[in-house]
Amino acid sequence: MKDKVVIITGASSGIGKALAFSFGREGAKIVITGRKEAPLMEVSQALTKTGIENFALVSDVSIEADNVEMIKKTIKQYGKIDILINNAGISMRSMFADCDLNVIKAVMDINFYGTVYATKYALPYIKETKGSIVGVSSIAGYRGLPVRSGYSASKFAVNGFLEALRTELMHTGVHVLTACPGFTASNIRVASLGSDGNSKGESMRDEGNMMSSEEVADRILRAVKNRDRDMVLTLQGKAIILINKLFPKLADKLTFNALAKEKNSPLAKI
């Protein structure tokens, strides 16, 4: 990773922040983006204090023009792009019947179109360096999760997009990684949108026994170094995917029962 230029979207907290430190400690030059300036600059200052060269850009991945500027400014600053990590994401928590459709659109705009926009404008430069495109997806991209219909749809879309892109690029030397953490201790559930589009402001799961953002970041770093095709984390995550493939009806029941146990789950009322 020495002197590699790495763009990490959604890097003001959680997995994105952890990725900035993981890749930065390996000698990479880190470009971090986020919608909120204050927390983004805090991460930038923390990276600088540890000796990690970084460049912070306030940018919203759901806005195409912001992605154009993100790439232009990165090239102006460093002259190349080696790795793009599409990490920015948001979740939602609502029964579909109760959900304002603008919530679904907002999740798709950030999770799916944000990945598409950033990848589109970074791709010519990544082809030049024969670098890597990473999508931080989810187990929900393999198995639809109730009360998270929009989130699941966005991650299925990301997985399909990256799979198609990987096949298109297989003779170019560009590496494409689909990284699917299981439940991870991060702020994505706290920031998840409710049925009305407002942030829930609390996690519905006990995060004490979850994989940490730092562990996830280190595993993604390793997968990029190895130029792996896919990365599925946690035994639970791997089990969900396998059961869903072999015994889909059983997977329906197990998924429903597991998520009905979440705090204030609407499934518990059914």
Q: What is the 3-state secondary structure (H, E, C) of the chain?
A: CCCCEEEECCCCCHHHHHHHHHHHHCCCEEEEEECCHHHHHHHHHHHHHCCCCEEEEECCCCCHHHHHHHHHHHHHHHCCCCEEEECCCCCECECHHHCCHHHHHHHHHHHHHHHHHHHHHHHHHHHHHCCEEEEECCHHHCCCCCCEHHHHHHHHHHHHHHHHHHHHCCCCCCEEEEEECCCEECCCCCCCECCCCCECCCCCCCCCCCEEHHHHHHHHHHHHHHCCCEEECCHHHHHHHHHHHHCHHHHHHHHHHHHHCCCCCHHHHC
Catalytic residue among 113, 117, 125, 151: 151
Q: Quick one: tokens of 116?
A: 């598409």
Burial of 140 (0-12, 13-18, 19+ CB in 10 A): buried
Q: Which of 118, 99, 259, 119 is nearest to 189 (CA)?
A: 259
Q: Is 151 a catalytic residue?
A: yes
Query: Which residues are designated catalytic?
Result: 151
